[in-house]
Structure 1
Amino acid sequence: MPAMAAPGAGPAATWCYRGDPAPDRPAALVRFAHGRLRRPEALRFTAYRNRDTAHPRKRHRRILVSESERLSYVGHNFGSEGMRCNSLCRYFVGVLDKDSGQMEVYNAEIFNMQPLLSDNLIPDDTKDYQKKSYREKVDLCIEAFGTSKQKRALSARRMNAVGGDMVSTAVTKAAANIIGAKGVTALVQDVAQDEEQTISAFLPPCHEDADRPEHVYRFEDILSPAEYEALRVPAAPLASASAEDIARKVEERSHCSFVLEELKFLPTDERSRDHKARCLWFLDTLIKFSKQKVIKKKHPMGPECPHIISKKLMKNFTSLTYNNGSVQNLISASMKAKITAYVIILALHINNFQTDLTVLQNDMKLQESRILDIARALRLKVSKTRGAPGLENDQNHKLGTLSLPLPVQKAPAGQRKRKKMN
C-alpha cells in the first residue's frame, strides 16, 4: 500500500486497490457520442448486468442507461456498440476520503452513451390495439418484455415471412418473363440439356474419334497400370476358383449378381482368366463401395484391399464434407452416378462391349430410369433382352451396347415424357 505525500501538505494519502466493484454498481467512465452535456450532474444512471453469471463472457456484459429531460441514453460494453479500447487498455477509478486520506481504486470501463431515439413519439391508440389479432398482441408483448431468445425467434419469423413473400413474388415474375421470352418447348429442352451435362461431368474420358469400341473408353482411364498390377493378389482367389468354390460363393452371395454370373464363364487361358478376375474383383469392390454413405475409415474396403485402390476410391469417388468441425468423405448422388458410369464401362470391357444393365441396376439398388440415363450419356444403344436363367424379371432386361458409330446424344427419358404446357 504505497503512500502519496505532497510537499507542504498534511498527512500522507494512501491508496488501496479493490479490483472489481460490486456487480450491481460497476465503476463506469462515460462519454456522450453527440457532444457535451450542459447539466451532467442532473443525470441518473442505471446499470443492468447479464443474468448468466456462469458464462465466462456473458457475466461481464453490462448495459448503462441514463435519462435527461429531453433524451434517454444507452451504452454497452459488448457487441458492435462496445468500445474496443476496453480490451486494449485498463482503466481505473479512485475514490478519495479527504478526512482519512484513504483512496480506494477500482477497475473501470468506458461506456459510449448514445441517444435512444424512438419512432413512436405519439402514444398508441387503444382502439388500434383492440383490433389486433391474438398473435399480434403476443408479438407486442415479446417486443416489450420478452427474453433475447424470444426476440430473436420473433425477428427470424418476421424476416422469413417477408423474405418468403419477396422470393415468391420475384420467382413468379422471373418465371413469367422467362416463359414469355423463350417459350415452354425451349425451356424443357434446356432442362434436359442441363441434366445431361450434369451426368456427363462425371463420365470417364470419351474418345469419339476412336475406330474400335475398346478405344472409346480406354481401359487405362479406368485402371492405371500400377492399379491393375495391385489387383493381382486380391483377385487370385477368383482366378483360381473351382466350380465348387463358385457354387459356394453363389450360395453365400459373397459377391454381386453380375460377378457371380460371370465367374461361371471364366476363360481357360491363364492370362485371360487372370485379367477377367481382376476386372471382376474391382467391379465388385466399386459396387460395395457405392452402398456406403459416409466413409469414416481410412481403409473402407478392409485390409485385403490394396492401398493404391483404397486411395483411388477415396480420391475419385467421394466428396469432402465438413461435419461438427471434422472432415468427412461422403458418397453423394453425383459420386454414385460417377461410380455407376465406371461400373458400366468396366462391365462392357468384360463382356465384349455388351452388358445387361438390369443386373447392374439391381446390384447397385438404382432406379431403371437412372441407370438408363447414365447409359445413354455414355452413348450406349439400349435394347430389350432376356435375362440369364434364374434372374428376376428375366423377360424385361435392358441390354446396353457400345458400338460405332456412336449414337447422337438425346434428352433423358424422364424429360421426353413431360406433358406439354399450354
Structure 2
Amino acid sequence: MALEARWRYRGDPQEGQRAPLVQFTNGKLKSCDGMKFTLYNSTDASNPRKKHRRILNAETNRLSYVGNNFGTGSLRCNTLCRYFVGVLDKDSGEMEVYNAELFHMKPLLLDDVANEDLSEYLNKTYREKVDLCIEAFGTSKQRRALSSRRMNEVQKEVLSKAVTNAAENIIETKGTDAVVSDATEDDKADISLVLPPCHEDAERLEDVYRFEDFLSPAEYEALKAPAAAFVNITSDEILKLTEEKRHCSFMLDELKCMPVNEKKRDHKARCLWFLDSLVKLSFQRVVKKKQAMGPDCPHIISNKLVKNFTALSYGNGRLQNLVSASMKAKITAYVIALALHINHFQTDLTVLQRDLKLRENRILDIAKAMRLKITKSKSLSGCEDHKLGTLCLPLPIYKMPAGRRKRKMN
C-alpha cells in the first residue's frame, strides 16, 4: 500500500525571507550546472518599506542576470498572488511547503562605456549605426559587402585627394586665367555635342542649320507614309486629336495653318510628324531598340532616333538605350531647329518648353547656345508673355553665363 502524501506548511525558510523563484527574459533554464545564485537583502531593517527589498543575482560563464522585488522592474504579481515552493521527502511522502517570491531575471550589461564614448555613439548617423550592427551580428555576406563599400569609400577619398592635388599643380603652373580659358573652351566643345551642326559662315538662314543635317533623303522619304494623315487633315480631325492629347501643342497649332501648296503641305506634315516623335522620345527613360516609337514608325526613323538621341548604358544585367539629361538637351536643340524651319526661322519657345516639360531657363540656355535672338511677345490670347527665338544674320555671339562658371570653379 502506497504511503499517503502529507503537506506540512513551514512558512518562510528563514525569518523575514521567502524562497526565490526565477524566470528568465531570454529563455528557459535547461540546466543549473555552472550557475551561481546570490541573494542580497536590504540592510535598512528599521524602514518597513525597505526591509523586504531583495536583489537576486545569477552568474553564468557568458552573462550575468539580475532581478529585484522593488522598483519599476519588479513584478506586480508578487503583491497580488502568493507563491509556494514544496520540498518532497520521498521516504516519508511528506512535503514541506515554504513561502516563495517570483523574480524576473534580466541580462546585466556592464556599463563600462565612458560618457564621451556614449555621446559619440549618439552623434553617429543611422548608416554608421547600422554598420556597427553588421560588424557585431551580421552574416558573412553582409560583412563582405560592408568591407567592400568601405574600401570603395577609401578609394574615392584617395582619388579625390589626387584630383585636388593635380588641379592645384595645374593652377600653379598655368595660372588661373589660363585654366578658366581652357575650361570655357571645353564647355563650348561639350555644348557642340548636343547641338545640331551650325554653319556660322552661311549667307542664308536656310544654311545655318541645314535641313539635310536633320534628315537624309532616305529618311525624309520614309516619313511620307506616317505623315500622310496630316496632309489633308480637317478641322474636326484636329479637334479630335486635341481631345485625345496624343500629340504636342506645337504640332496641333501648326496643323491649323497648313500651306495651300500641296508640296509644301506634304513637307510641313513630314517635319511636324518627326518633331512630334522627338517630343515623345524625350519623355521616355529606357528606349527599346525595336519599335522605339511604336509599329507606325518606319524602321529607318526608329533606328535614327535610337542611334542619335539615346545613350548606351549597362543596367539590370544588360545593355540599355537611355534618354539621359544630355540626350534630352540634344532632343530639345533639334526640336528648336526643326521648328525654325517650319516657322520661317522664328518659333515660340514657350510652347516648345511646355511640350517638352522643361524649365524656362533650360530651353532659353539651349536657344542662346544655338545663337538665337530671344524676344518677348504676347500670346494669341494676350494674357501672358511668350519667349520667341529668332534666327538672324549675323549670328549673335554666345557667352557662357558667368554665374555658372563661378559655381563650377568652386
**Structure 1 and Structure 2 fold alike (TM over 0.5):** yes
Matched, 1:313 2:313: no
Q: How far apart, CA to CA, are the structure 2 residues paired with 1:289 and 1:141? A: 46
Deviations 1:362-416 (A, max 9, x none): 10111222212221221211222222338xx731x22111111112221147627
Q: 1:195 to 1:389 in 2, by over 3 A?
A: farther
Q: How far apart, CA to CA, are the structure 1 residues paired with 2:131 and 2:320? A: 42
Q: 1:273-292 alignment to 2 at 5 Å?
A: 273-292=265-284
- Aligned position for 1:386: 378
Gap runs ≥5 in structure 1: 1-128
Deviations 1:80-103 (A, max 9, x none): xxxxxxxxxxxxxxxxxxxxxxxx
Deviations 1:107-166 (A, max 9, x none): xxxxxxxxxxxxxxxxxxxxxx9999688xx99999999864355356446535644654
Deviations 1:20-43 (A, max 9, x none): xxxxxxxxxxxxxxxxxxxxxxxx
Q: 1:194 to 1:144 in 2, by over 3 A?
A: same
Q: Identity over aligned residues, as a percent? A: 64
Contact 2:289 2:321 (8 Å CA) reproduced: no
Give TM-score scaled by structure 1 length: 0.59
- Aligned position for 1:398: 387
Structure 1 moving runs of 4+ over 3 Å: 129-135, 138-151, 153-196, 416-421
Contact 2:250 2:351 (8 Å CA) reproduced: yes
- Aligned position for 2:346: 354
Contact 1:228 1:278 (8 Å CA) reproduced: yes
1:339 maps to amino acid: I
Q: 1:172 to 1:155 in 2, by over 3 A?
A: same
1:377 maps to amino acid: A
Contact 1:356 1:387 (8 Å CA) reproduced: no
Matched, 1:267 2:259: yes
The aligned length equals 289
The equivalent position to 2:205 in structure 1, one of 187, 198, 213, is: 213
Greater radius of gyration (CA)? 2
2:198 maps to amino acid: C
The equivalent position to 1:410 in structure 2, one of 371, 378, 399, is: 399
SS in structure 2 at match of 1:233: helix
Q: 1:202 to 1:157 in 2, by over 3 A?
A: closer
User: 1:301 Cα deviation (Å)?
Assistant: 1.5
- Aligned position for 2:365: 373
Q: 1:219 to 1:139 in 2, by over 3 A?
A: closer
Q: How far apart, CA to CA, are the structure 1 residues paired with 2:374 and 2:216? A: 29
Q: 1:357 to 1:156 in 2, by over 3 A?
A: same
- Aligned position for 2:291: 299
Deviations 1:170-219 (A, max 9, x none): 55555655666667676666555433322211222222221100011111
Matched, 1:255 2:247: yes
- Aligned position for 1:55: none
Q: 1:414 to 1:235 in 2, by over 3 A?
A: farther
Q: How far apart, CA to CA, are the structure 1 residues paired with 2:136 and 2:358? A: 56
SS in structure 2 at match of 1:352: coil
Give TM-score scaled by structure 2 length: 0.60
- Aligned position for 1:200: 192
Q: How far apart, CA to CA, are the structure 2 residues paired with 1:140 and 1:376? A: 52
User: 1:279 Cα deviation (Å)?
Assistant: 0.8
Q: 1:274 to 1:414 in 2, by over 3 A?
A: farther
2:394 maps to amino acid: P
SS in structure 1 at match of 2:260: coil
Q: 1:120-135 alignment to 2 at 5 Å?
A: none
SS in structure 2 at match of 1:201: helix
Q: 1:120-269 alignment to 2 at 5 Å?
A: 148-149=140-141, 151-153=143-145, 155-156=147-148, 159=151, 162-163=154-155, 166-167=158-159, 169-170=161-162, 173=165, 191-269=183-261
Q: How far apart, CA to CA, are the structure 2 residues paired with 1:400 and 1:248? A: 30
Name whichever of 152-161 and 295-304 sits farther off: 152-161
Q: How far apart, CA to CA, are the structure 2 residues paired with 1:408 and 1:157? A: 48
SS in structure 1 at match of 2:351: helix
